[in-house]
Chains A and B, each alone.
Chain A
Amino acid sequence: MRLISLTNKIFILILIHQKYSGIPPNLSKKIRNLCALSKYILLNMSTIPYIFDAVRTPRGRGKKSGSLHEVKPVDLLKTVLNAVQERNQLDTKQVDDVVIGCVTPVGEQGGDVAKAALLYADWDVSVPGFQLNRFCASGLEAVNVAAMKVASGWEDLVVAGGVESMSRVPMGSDGGALMFDPAVNAKVGFVPQGISADLIATIEGFDRETVDRYAVSSQQRASHAQTNGYFDGSIIPVIDQSNITILDKDEHLRPGTTVETLGNLNPAFKMMGDMGFDAVALLKYPEIEMINHVHTGGNSSGIVDGASLVLIGTKEKGEALGLKPRAKILSVATSSSEPTIMLQGPAPATWKALKKAGMEPKDIDLWEMNEAFASAVLKFQRDLNVDDDILNVNGGAIALGHPLGATGTMLLGTILDELERRNLSTGLVTLCVGGGMGVTTIIERV
């Protein structure tokens, strides 16, 4: 134990030393190798990941009657893979790796859906791909992993993205110990996210009208953005074998929504709360007398189908391939917090990312916090003191839907488009994540 920590200390000292001078010649071979490695890491840490492109499918209602229900997850991915290839005249051989977020990676989304889709979309056989799962932030996690790959200097051009056909592969159908193993869920204090959202609302004092008002604003903003074509630059229509369009715009929106119409909806999580999940939550939050169940289908994220991609690489690689950098990734962060209240992860992740980037909240021009539930956004807004006018300016998942694994990448594309449209500089994307986690990415236009 002591030996390891000593080696660590030496290594850190050398790291610091290396920044200012060369490798001292009088060290053993082992240590010199270590120094060489550290020097390599140090030199390459400065590699900045750039974003060249971001595309997504439209979001189809995630049920049988939804337009994309007939479309397989690999076809959703193929749609965006083809688009990235075509839009950038990309020689796919140049891509080092493809990272795809997917939250329910079973059945037709199982077995490394990334590689399946790459082959299916006729990308070069030399392009590898893998699927990752960070629950609701999988798409953004894919971006962050791609960014880290590029920043590390090990890879130069990486595609990040996500896919989720919630209508075909239902949420939760992959099982999982957190939810379905009683030995685990009892110990952890697992509750469904809706209970967590209601718990946040209760603690923060967000009443039904507050969360419904937020939902109405999401609908209005999304509808305004859609009508004015703000999303059009990144949406890739989903077409069939004969090039007939299946869906070319987001279809989950309900533009006429008012606080009154939302008021008629029943609380969605009251019954399961009464059956026992409230008791689980209150065991951890004994200061609460009872949970105020304010969330409904109307102020929670919609269930939808969709896929998205972002192309990330080094400046040099972009220049070599004639790609135009649109933004650089300043920092990324992941965090975790108390799992029962679960949805408060974005704030710590965001503070972590801001700190890494040497920024403060006021340095951010536009914010995207995934609208998993209204209370999760309002709580984040309160924690970071974000102005209404710069948060989720084009609506969010309440209006547009939340295709789990694909959402993070979609939000990144949306914020990038909007930064360009408004000619602003910095944007921050964050999502709350199952198990109490949070993921954040900060970008800056170039």
Chain B
Amino acid sequence: MISYKKNTNNIVTLTMDMEGRKSNIINHEIGKAFLPVLDHLKKSKESNELIGVIITSAKQSFLTGGDLDYLSNVKDPKEIFKFVERQKQLFNAIESLGVPVVAAINGAALGSGFELTLAAHHRIALDHPKTVLGCPEVTLGILPGGGGTIRLMWMLGIEKALPILAEGKRYNPKKALEIGLIDELVADKETLMQQAEKWILDNPQVSKPWLEKGRIPGGTAKSPKLAPMIAMASAMMVKRTRNNYPAPQAILNTMVEGSLVDFETALRIESRYFTELITGKVSTNMTKAFWYDLNSIKQGESRPKGFGKFRPRKIGVIGAGMMGSGIAYVSAKVGIQVMLKDVSVTIAERGKAYSEKLLVKGVARKKITEIEKAAILDRITPTENAEDFKDCDLIIEAVFENRALKDQVTKEAQKFLDEDVIFASNTSTLPISGLAKSYDHQENFIGLHFFSPVDKMQLVEIIKGDNTSEETIARAFDYVKLIKKTPIVVNDSRGFYTSRVFKTYIIEGMALLNEGNLPNKIEQAGLNAGMPVGPLALIDEVSISLVVDILKQTKKDLGDKDPPNPGYDVAFRMIEEFNRPGKAKKAGFYDYSAKPKKIWPALRTHFPDKGSNSTMVEMQERLMIIQAIETVRCMEEGVISKVADANIGSIFGWGFAPFKGGTLQYINDYGMKEFIEKAAQLEQKYGARFKLPQSLHDMNHKNLTFI
């Protein structure tokens, strides 16, 4: 677990190497393992047989976090509090050995792992792409509870430490050095250990400002310079979080309150906030989504088993518009050769220029070098000839959403393709099984629904057609992971998963409008509920006319099965009566003639108050519950089969409230029984669209939740 090696200089190297794990974490086991080691070190120190300690790891990473499995299962606050206080004692003991302690950070040090390095007197990191550093706890709804919040505040001051922890960014070693997270950077492992030893020999006397009469850089929360900033800090958080995320607020509180008391008391304050967060709902939701669900996707839960790993060397992209260009960019970036085809080379070149624009920005921001930029661009070849696809392993068609056009380009490309080449269509609305008919080898035909802008949006929805083979799914899955996106696998159906559920949010927004709720209140309800954009603004972005087309198609496809929805009428009236098709035409629910956009003043006249008495809370819940119900329907109909895919798909796909952990976790959060009761109320009040699928009642009877 921890290997102990003392050299002739009386410097001890502790190498962490937990058995049966890919990386080290902080848990009970390692805590126990440290105790005798520390005891021994103390004795060595007393008998003058110790001059310093180096902590490092035998794994590829240093130490990557805390024991989430344990933490997410304990419900008793007292136990959590005790656990985290014990963890602190461990770090405190390392810090106060009385000899210099150096963290030789040989790889990723995240969360508790990074907190451990903060207890050391000196941090040296290996300059390697895999060395990521930081405290991303906040992204799981918690705060660094191993003394990291207080130590970082003492090291950098509140002003600098706050954003680092409240945003939870991971830093590369250079950036980490620049902002003061580490002290030194070395090129290789040998130098790492040499420098660690050298620092110990050069610095026999060590201390920490918080253990002596030191001062927090920039002062305490009371200092006249900081106080006004602190008065403002909560408000700045509210602007970003609408009070939905307790963790950044708790980090702020911990630093402010901790700055006013001694170090030991401050640590206890940190433990109390930590305990509150861990036992709260938001951390449960966020840990579920961003740890368990995301990991299960990464580990290929939805990837058919038994097929070798697919690594396309060269791909073809048809259509050099916004989507095609983005797909070319993300593919070239990971080393894939891309043939980017459009009707003319000129247009295809424009698509390549899109990559260039992004790369120039990357160079300016020092994210990539000029050489890397050139190499990436080199991999994209604009073309107008389908013939150039002949040695591609994968073709992605990303032309307009038009069946005839898609049919034409598919057939054109097919002539030059080997029979085992995968053909993917990027579509958000057209059924894949229908499109597959244009392709001779339907088993190799699949849907890849990218989100715009491709370079920023993490999700790709993989759509199985009726005849798509398991191997093709596995290959598509591998490709999506290769381009560093998150794949979810869904069945072919109207709107697939994401578009179908997303639609319910905006239609419910229009239903609220039809009932006479104040437009701005509807928007605020969406935002308060945690959605990134209010429903009406979102429809404007999508374009109301497109929504109307989809609604008409849905009506046609489903007939009476589609329950009447007051939201539809709003969309129809916006187009037919008021001729306001959306943002593109500068006229939708909003007026775009001046910046910032303003809600169209006549909206209230056309959709007047009908005495609707929806409260803010109910409006918020309706906008979310309708999405959760539609997701359950998708599960029941087999459109989607994994809870993880549903949750992550909703968050990454259309920005479903991350603090709720996704559309299905929303139900867990609400409480299954309470959710069913609420939906029944809403159904009675607002109609059949809130009717729950039988499967949810069944789950409730069996006491099941969405895990």
Contacts and interface: CB of A to CB of B under 8 A. Distances in A.
Interface in B207-224: 221-222, 224
Nearest to A173: B224
A288 B234 contact: no
A190 B234 CA distance: 9
A182 B233 contact: yes
A190 B235 CA distance: 8
A286 interface: yes
A246 B235 CA distance: 43
A113 B639 CA distance: 74
Interface stretch (A270-278, A375-383, A397-405): A270-278
Nearest to A278: B239
Given A183-B257, A185-B234, A272-B232, A283 B227 contact: no
Nearest to A191: B235
B524 A282 contact: yes
Contacts, number: 79
A290 B528 contact: no
Given A286-B521, A287-B518, A289-B520, A180 B231 contact: yes
A73 B599 CA distance: 52
A320 to B, nearest CB: 50
Contacts of A286: 520-521, 524-525, 528, 616
Nearest to B222: A175
Interface residues of B, number: 32
A280 B528 contact: no
B221 A276 contact: no
A191 B518 CA distance: 25
Interface stretch (B66-74, B248-256, B350-358, B432-440): B248-256
B221 A283 contact: no
Interface string A172-205: 1101000111110110001100000000000000
A181 B234 CA distance: 9
B343 interface: no
A289 B242 CA distance: 15
A279 interface: yes
B244 to A, nearest CB: 11
Given A186-B243, A283-B242, A277 B520 contact: no
Contact of B249 (A172, A179, A186): A186
A14 B236 CA distance: 56
Nearest to A189: B238
Contact of A279 (B222, B233, B238, B249): B238
Contacts of A290: 596
B230 interface: yes
Residue of B221, B228, B524, B528 with highest tally of chain A CB at under 10 A: B524
A179 B524 contact: no
Contacts of B237: 186, 276
A237 B4 CA distance: 81
B75 interface: no
Interface string B33-77: 000000000000000000000000000000000000000000000
A280 B596 CA distance: 19
Interface size on A, as a range, is: 20 to 34
B239 A276 contact: yes
Given A175-B227, A286-B520, A181 B256 contact: yes
B697 interface: no
Nearest to B522: A286
B598 interface: yes
A279 B239 contact: yes
Interface string A355-391: 0000000000000000000000000000000000000
A198 to B, nearest CB: 14
A172 B227 CA distance: 10
B232 A276 contact: yes
A183 B253 CA distance: 6
Contact of A283 (B253, B528, B596): B528
B231 A179 contact: yes
B521 A287 contact: yes
A100 B210 CA distance: 42
Nearest to B249: A186
Residue of B227, B235, B239, B528 with highest tally of chain A CB at under 10 A: B235
B238 A280 contact: yes
B238 A182 contact: no
Interface string A154-188: 00000000000000000011010001111101100
20 contacts: A173-B224, A180-B231, A181-B256, A182-B234, A182-B252, A182-B253, A183-B257, A191-B235, A272-B232, A275-B232, A276-B234, A276-B235, A276-B238, A277-B235, A279-B235, A283-B238, A283-B528, A286-B520, A287-B520, A288-B520
Interface of A: 172-173, 175, 179-183, 185-186, 190-191, 272, 275-280, 282-283, 286-290
Interface of B: 221-222, 224, 227-228, 230-239, 242-243, 249, 252-253, 256-257, 518, 520-521, 524-525, 528, 596, 598-599, 616
